[in-house]
Structure 1
Amino acid sequence: MSNIPETGRTTRITVRLVAIQILVFSLLLTLAGRLWYLQIRNGDEYTAEAASNHVQQVIQPATRGSILDARGIPLADNETRLVVSASRTDLMKMKDDGKAVLTRLAAVLDMKPQEVMDKVRLCDAKTPQPCWNGSPYQPIPITDEATTQQALQIRERAEDFPGISAEPTPVRRYAAPGDANAAQVLGYLSPVTDEEIKDAEKSESPLLRSDQIGRSGLERSYDDQLRGKAGITRYEVDNLGRVIGKGKSERAEPGSNVVTSIDARVQAIAEKELALAMKEARKVSDRNTGTNYKADAGAVVVMEARTGRIVAMASNPTYDPNAWVGGISARDYRKLTGKKSNYPLLNRAIQGQAAPGSIFKVIPTTAAVNAGYRFSDRYPCPSSYSIGGQVFKNFESQGHGSITLGQALEVSCDTVYYGLSHQQWQKDGGINPKKHPKDWFYKTAHQFGLGKETGIDLPNEVSGRVPDRQWKKDYWKANKDVWCKQGKKSGDYAERIAYENCLEGMKMRAGDAVNYSIGQGDTLVTPIQMATIYSAISNGGTLYDPTVGKAVISADGKKVREIKPASHGRLPMDAKTNRQINEALAGVATRGTAAWRFGGWPQDKIPMHAKTGTAEVYGKQTTSWFASYTKDYTIVMTISQGGTGSGASGPAVRNIYSAMYGVSPDGEIDRGKALLPEPQRRLPKINRDGTVEAKSFGEKYTAIGTTGRRPEE
């Protein structure tokens, strides 16, 4: 029997009970505090997170705006097609990654199973086209050309095609009205990538996984305006995926329409005339090689001389932009990106660089006047010009005695410019230049806008090149090691050039100066640069930024933003020099190197100004150039390995003018047949419902042939 008193034992039990009560109370207090924290203090936050876990979004893609010509004719719009798509997420949940489903789908669509499987694989550095470069969570289009019967088969046998959908969907269409393709100007679309979605998160125009964006041309330049805003419907669902409510939704906003300055009729003519000129050039024998000209690429630009607006722009070889709609096939992708097809994705009007030949001579003519040589003075035009032991010949070794600068432009006398540039080179110190040489001929080219982009509203324009002293130094630093390794003093031509460049490639030699003066050597220009320059000569000296977009019109027609012409400078010539050069270029068309192509032209009613160019390129046949303008328009055409300027490009340029002004081969003007005798000033009519009222396209154009004697340049 215990000796502990009963009162002591009771006290200890009481203490233990109190301790247990305190512990329980503390636990309850802690739990209550945690519940308060979760439900009261941070309740809204966790409620939102919980709700978001049970919200599903349904995206309604916005209808993309149309791209219209100056009269409202659609160049790119949308049409409803039956699109069959595959959910890669659903397919990857299957044991065979959906191969069985895709094989059955291929049979329904009359496609090869591998072709269908290639379309749903994801693009990476090692995966060739076709592949999917959009989000892996977005439905991947297999075809946009499904028939009604095929769509019904898929939908009626849904159990055989899990993850496959067949729905009517607006699809981009490149209409090519009257065969006006305009592929490189319009561009194309492809699905947005995850990286692009992330980059656009904080922008004013965020991207959704369902978006397609412009990859080139106007589709890229005006993508934000054309794309619109996708609609989002949010549904609240339970854990079993059943809809239990509808959340906040946003209506889709269709994209705006872009009205361009392109005239589809003139665009069609420009494309056809360029293609025909190249075809005809391939029939002509090259006297230097004994083979026919290859005429492997070309471009033409038709520009409003007083605004810089583009009326037509064609590049050849070309392609059908509809090839990208619904995903491009492997065969088409190889065609568009392969060397064999000569890279038709390139817009050679803004990305094709070549030596300009004699169309460059308006620049050294201006440089000579600014350097102190008078336009009306006479300068020797011998058949050749010698510097040391090197002989520089005039075109076809012709001499014209003593002539003015205007006459030098008319007959395209190389030796006049050789002499003037050589003199300036000597005044600047020759091979060892002064500390601050005048460099009139190079300085003037930069003032004309060469060596930099024109600012056209199309992506990926290139800048060309003015091979001045700084360029020579930079180029030498980059290449001297190779030159010194390959060069031989007594080797072949290429080895001797490498040897000379190794020793003094950083210096401006006399040969560099005289070659540059006639648009040869290392000088590179683009057709859009030369069109901008000749337009400036036509309008009195203003260098306009070339533009294709003319206005952006909202889908409801209530908002119209016109794109006004803008200038990036003026030509470095006074009014007198401008007038003298104008007269000389008119002489080129009436009695100079282009006269045989413009015989019978109504010069008194539509004064024509022109300059021919034949640029020599080492290792290739000559490049054909033809630059021209009236008071309204400028047309510049070039054909790579196409022969002479007047011989290859001249007839095509005349035919484009003839169609625009309604001029017959014998020089009669029929205003009723003139497609665009003056630039289109007004925008097309916009209806109250926002639709743009387009004029009828008109009859198809048939090329008018021209005749003439043998080309002189």
Structure 2
Amino acid sequence: MRPVGFGGRERDSTKLRLGLVGLVVAGLFVAMFVRLWYLQVLDSPRFQSAAVSNGVRNVYDPAPRGRIVDRYGRVLVDDSVTQAITLSRDTAKLHPEVVARLAVLLGMTTAQIQLRLSDPKYSQFKPVPIKTNVTNDVAIYLKEHQSDFPGVDAQSLPDVSYPNGSTAAQLAGYIAPINSAQLAARKDQGYQPGDLVGQSGVEESAEPWLRGQPGTTRLLVNAGGQVFGTLSQTPPVAGHDVQLSVDLGLQKELDSALSQEIGSLGGVHTGAAVVLDPRDGSVLAMSSFPSYDPSIWIGGISSAAYANLQNPAGNFPLVNRAIAGLYTPGSSFKMLTATAALDTGLISPDFTYTDNGSFSIPGCSVGACSLASEGLGSVNVTRALAGSDDAFFYNLGLLFWNQRAKYGLSPIQDMANTYGVGTPSGIDLPGESVSRVDSPQVRQRLHAANPKAFPNGGWYVGDNVEMAFGQGGTVVTPLQLLNAYASFANGGTVYQPRVAADALDQSGRPVKSFQPVAARHVNLPPSTRDPMLAGLKGVTKPGGTAGGTFTGFPFNLMDVAGKTGTADHIGEKPTSVFMSFAPADNPQYAVGVIIDQGGFGAQAAGPVARAVYDYLLANPVRPLANPVPGPSATLPPLPAVVPVNAASGAGPGNGTR
């Protein structure tokens, strides 16, 4: 028998427990309804947006890049966008049946597709373009039947063409897929992985103008990722054309003249040539040798082809040596030394020096203390420039050294910097090297950085003498040296060289003009310029170092002033240099040529410049014309390229320096 009252207490405890459970259950239902109400009413916009985005895929359609055209609107680089069908190599191996299906859809044979897949020019890590210029119907069909075509995609690919082959290859540059560093630097500019961007030349420097605005297609997809509709579409906007100051006909002639001259030398040589307008610094033509066919980049370059471009045995044809090559100037530097001597008052125009055929460096006991010279007798600055008399300029280096308390340690270097030699030119192209004018500071810096290559960290009288005629540690780019001559030609204004003239809209009208920029001015009063100009004119006449090169040239139609340079190198043939401008009294052109190990300046570089002036006599550069459709779009024809010396019969120079 249980104690009295025990059953009543048990019933009360059960009721209490049931009540507590009921309260908990009721609370859970209340919380659940509150949460549902929040999700459906208060937070529904966010989830609606998420639901839509989960069913939408954004497809970016690349825009056609702008074209690169010459000063008359003739095309150097053409660019458009084509729709292509691509196939993954890996998928094709795993699912060979896809190849057969795709062949039927595209009207190709399986053998043709396999041939494309095995083409080594396409990267192993990217889908291979199987067919280009396909219709939208084919692209849409593939997107709607993706499960039947794994590894197949419809992509918009750039359709680049180079109607003039390798002409101006380094100047125009090339495009390639954006790399991770470039993508990170442009993350706020709408670039996407895989976008093609300019990697060199005008393609790189004018990227903001050439690049169009990509379009966006918002596709509706189901849970399996298959497309079942299009939500919206924003078409791409093509980039601007960029018009250069370059004359395509002149560019072809310069490329041909440089290539043929180097080819005639035998052996392995590099070189560069530039034509400037000294009136505003615009580039009329720019060549670099060796060159290459830029179409190798179309559709993606193969690893083997890229390795060939980077092979030292091929002399790195991607390098634009006109702006990146560094060469010893030799006697072409004498114009800068003469300007410094006349400008500072070290000498007067009437000053003469007697060259007996040799020059002894006072106080010299180590190294080459006696230097050979031309033995021209009594010469002033005019005759010294025309005949490239070394002893005259040795003496200027000595005089500056002996009077360094008055003129300082760097009067020649300072003048060179004023001309723009030793400082960046500011040209609107990437990859410019900076010239170096030898000096006490440069010598110390080079010695500290590499004592084995530069064992002498001091600066002595012999160094000053050597620097005065363009030898020693001085190296220049062809462009920077020519720009110095162009500045002398125009009376002293040092322009910033420029390649781009205008950015054009789709109708051919300018939306941006790139104006000349005067960087600095060289003081060239008549007392300095006139005797020097007379000497530079004498270079191309009988008795001048390039007199033989310009034999028979019609100076009555175009007088040419210039300066040869023959830069000596131990164990190698000299570097051949020729810097010039014409017409001498009213310059419109400045032509500079440098050929590594080409020999005397008049024998290799000089004939290239002669060929250019022959061409310009028959085909003068005309004013820039925007390619607006209509009668004004009539363009001058491209004349046949004349081989070097074929028309002129020019022979080697009768001088050496």
**TM-score, with length taken from structure 1:** 0.81
Matches for 1:148-167 after TM superposition, within 5 Å? 162-164=150-152
RMSD: 3.4
Partner of residue 638, structure 1: 594
Residue 147 to residue 46, structure 1, CA distance change in 2 (3 Å):
closer
Partner of residue 171, structure 1: 159
Q: Which amino acid aligns with 1:298?
A: G
Partner of residue 600, structure 1: 552
Matches for 1:103-118 after TM superposition, within 5 Å? 107-109=111-113, 111=115, 115=119
Matches for 1:605-624 after TM superposition, within 5 Å? 605-624=557-576
The answer to whether the 8 Å contact 1:143/1:326 transfers is: no
What is the rounded CA distance, in whole Å, between the counterparts of 1:14 and 1:605 in structure 2?
A: 123
Q: Which moved more, 1:8-17 or 1:216-225?
A: 8-17
The answer to whether the 8 Å contact 1:448/1:571 transfers is: yes
Partner of residue 124, structure 2: 121
Q: Which amino acid aligns with 2:112?
A: V
User: 2:216 aligned with 1:228, yes or no?
Assistant: no
Q: Which amino acid aligns with 1:610?
A: G
Partner of residue 497, structure 2: 546
Q: Deviations over 1:104-139 (max 9, x none)?
A: 9984246386545x84434xxxxxxxxx5xxxxxxx
What is the rounded CA distance, in whole Å, between the counterparts of 1:220 and 1:10 in structure 2?
A: 90
Q: Deviations over 1:368-412 (max 9, x none)?
A: 1233221221123231111224556666x4212221112111111
What is the rounded CA distance, in whole Å, between the counterparts of 1:297 and 1:223 in structure 2?
A: 29
Partner of residue 356, structure 2: 382
* Cα drift, residue 169 of structure 1: 5.4
Partner of residue 701, structure 1: 641
Q: Deviations over 1:199-235 (max 9, x none)?
A: 3122xx3212352111111111112211201111002
What is the rounded CA distance, in whole Å, between the counterparts of 1:101 and 1:620 in structure 2?
A: 60
What is the rounded CA distance, in whole Å, between the counterparts of 2:589 and 2:371 in structure 1?
A: 31
* Cα drift, residue 531 of structure 1: 1.6
SS at match of 1:621: strand
The answer to whether the 8 Å contact 2:343/2:528 transfers is: no
SS at match of 1:616: strand
What is the rounded CA distance, in whole Å, between the counterparts of 2:61 and 2:449 in structure 1?
A: 53
What is the rounded CA distance, in whole Å, between the counterparts of 1:657 and 1:651 in structure 2?
A: 10
* Cα drift, residue 624 of structure 1: 0.5
Residue 654 to residue 217, structure 1, CA distance change in 2 (3 Å):
same
Q: Deviations over 1:401-440 (max 9, x none)?
A: 22111211111111111112122223337xxxx9x93421
What is the rounded CA distance, in whole Å, between the counterparts of 1:694 and 1:56 in structure 2?
A: 47
The answer to whether the 8 Å contact 1:353/1:525 transfers is: yes
Residue 609 to residue 120, structure 1, CA distance change in 2 (3 Å):
closer
Partner of residue 284, structure 2: 311
Q: Which moved more, 1:453-462 or 1:36-45?
A: 36-45
Matches for 1:125-144 after TM superposition, within 5 Å? 140-142=127-129
* Cα drift, residue 467 of structure 1: 1.9
SS at match of 2:527: helix
SS at match of 2:312: coil
Partner of residue 460, structure 1: 431
What is the rounded CA distance, in whole Å, between the counterparts of 1:377 and 1:332 in structure 2?
A: 59
* Cα drift, residue 661 of structure 1: 1.6
What is the rounded CA distance, in whole Å, between the counterparts of 1:33 and 1:619 in structure 2?
A: 92
Q: Deviations over 1:239-290 (max 9, x none)?
A: 13354654343221011101111111101100111112113333xxxxxxxx
* Cα drift, residue 540 of structure 1: 1.0
SS at match of 1:23: helix
What is the rounded CA distance, in whole Å, between the counterparts of 1:320 and 1:360 in structure 2?
A: 34
The answer to whether the 8 Å contact 1:549/1:563 transfers is: yes
Partner of residue 415, structure 1: 391
Residue 439 to residue 115, structure 1, CA distance change in 2 (3 Å):
same
* Cα drift, residue 99 of structure 1: 8.3
What is the rounded CA distance, in whole Å, between the counterparts of 1:214 and 1:459 in structure 2?
A: 11
What is the rounded CA distance, in whole Å, between the counterparts of 1:506 and 1:698 in structure 2?
A: 53
> Which among 179, 191, 206 is matched to residue 193 of structure 1?
179
**TM-score, with length taken from structure 2:** 0.87
Unaligned runs of 5+ in 1: 123-131, 133-139, 283-293, 484-497, 663-674
User: 2:191 aligned with 1:207, yes or no?
Assistant: yes
Q: Which amino acid aligns with 1:187?
A: G
Residue 161 to residue 246, structure 1, CA distance change in 2 (3 Å):
closer
The answer to whether the 8 Å contact 1:101/1:161 transfers is: yes
What is the rounded CA distance, in whole Å, between the counterparts of 1:164 and 1:244 in structure 2?
A: 17
The answer to whether the 8 Å contact 1:647/1:711 transfers is: no
What is the rounded CA distance, in whole Å, between the counterparts of 1:220 and 1:313 in structure 2?
A: 17
Q: Which moved more, 1:244-253 or 1:366-375?
A: 244-253
Partner of residue 465, structure 2: 514
What is the rounded CA distance, in whole Å, between the counterparts of 2:155 and 2:634 in structure 1?
A: 30
The answer to whether the 8 Å contact 2:508/2:627 transfers is: no
SS at match of 1:600: coil
What is the rounded CA distance, in whole Å, between the counterparts of 1:58 and 1:457 in structure 2?
A: 34
What is the rounded CA distance, in whole Å, between the counterparts of 1:570 and 1:109 in structure 2?
A: 62
* Cα drift, residue 465 of structure 1: 1.0
Matches for 1:220-259 after TM superposition, within 5 Å? 220-243=204-227, 246-259=230-243
Q: Which amino acid aligns with 1:635?
A: V
Residue 710 to residue 680, structure 1, CA distance change in 2 (3 Å):
closer
Q: Which amino acid aligns with 1:633?
A: Y
Q: Which moved more, 1:248-257 or 1:634-643?
A: 248-257
The answer to whether the 8 Å contact 1:280/1:648 transfers is: no
Q: Which amino acid aligns with 1:343?
A: F
Partner of residue 488, structure 1: none
What is the rounded CA distance, in whole Å, between the counterparts of 1:327 and 1:142 in structure 2?
A: 10
Q: Which amino acid aligns with 2:211?
A: R
Residue 332 to residue 557, structure 1, CA distance change in 2 (3 Å):
same
User: 2:315 aligned with 1:329, yes or no?
Assistant: no
Q: Which amino acid aligns with 1:590?
A: K
* Cα drift, residue 33 of structure 1: 4.5
The answer to whether the 8 Å contact 1:188/1:217 transfers is: yes
User: 2:401 aligned with 1:425, yes or no?
Assistant: yes
SS at match of 1:57: strand
SS at match of 2:641: coil
Residue 661 to residue 145, structure 1, CA distance change in 2 (3 Å):
farther
SS at match of 1:622: strand
Q: Which moved more, 1:69-78 or 1:332-341?
A: 332-341
The answer to whether the 8 Å contact 1:86/1:120 transfers is: no
The answer to whether the 8 Å contact 1:448/1:572 transfers is: no
* Cα drift, residue 323 of structure 1: 0.8
What is the rounded CA distance, in whole Å, between the counterparts of 1:712 and 1:160 in structure 2?
A: 76
The answer to whether the 8 Å contact 2:553/2:648 transfers is: no
Partner of residue 649, structure 1: 605
Q: Which amino acid aligns with 2:388?
A: S
Aligned residues: 631
> Which among 428, 431, 446 is matched to residue 417 of structure 2?
446
What is the rounded CA distance, in whole Å, between the counterparts of 1:575 and 1:683 in structure 2?
A: 36
SS at match of 2:115: coil
What is the rounded CA distance, in whole Å, between the counterparts of 1:165 and 1:33 in structure 2?
A: 47
Q: Which amino acid aligns with 1:342?
A: N
Q: Deviations over 1:505-559 (max 9, x none)?
A: 2211222111111111110001100121111111111111111111001225465
Partner of residue 280, structure 1: 264
What is the rounded CA distance, in whole Å, between the counterparts of 2:180 and 2:45 in structure 1?
A: 31
Task: Calculate percent identity across the aligned residue pairs.
Answer: 29
Residue 97 to residue 460, structure 1, CA distance change in 2 (3 Å):
farther
Partner of residue 73, structure 1: 74
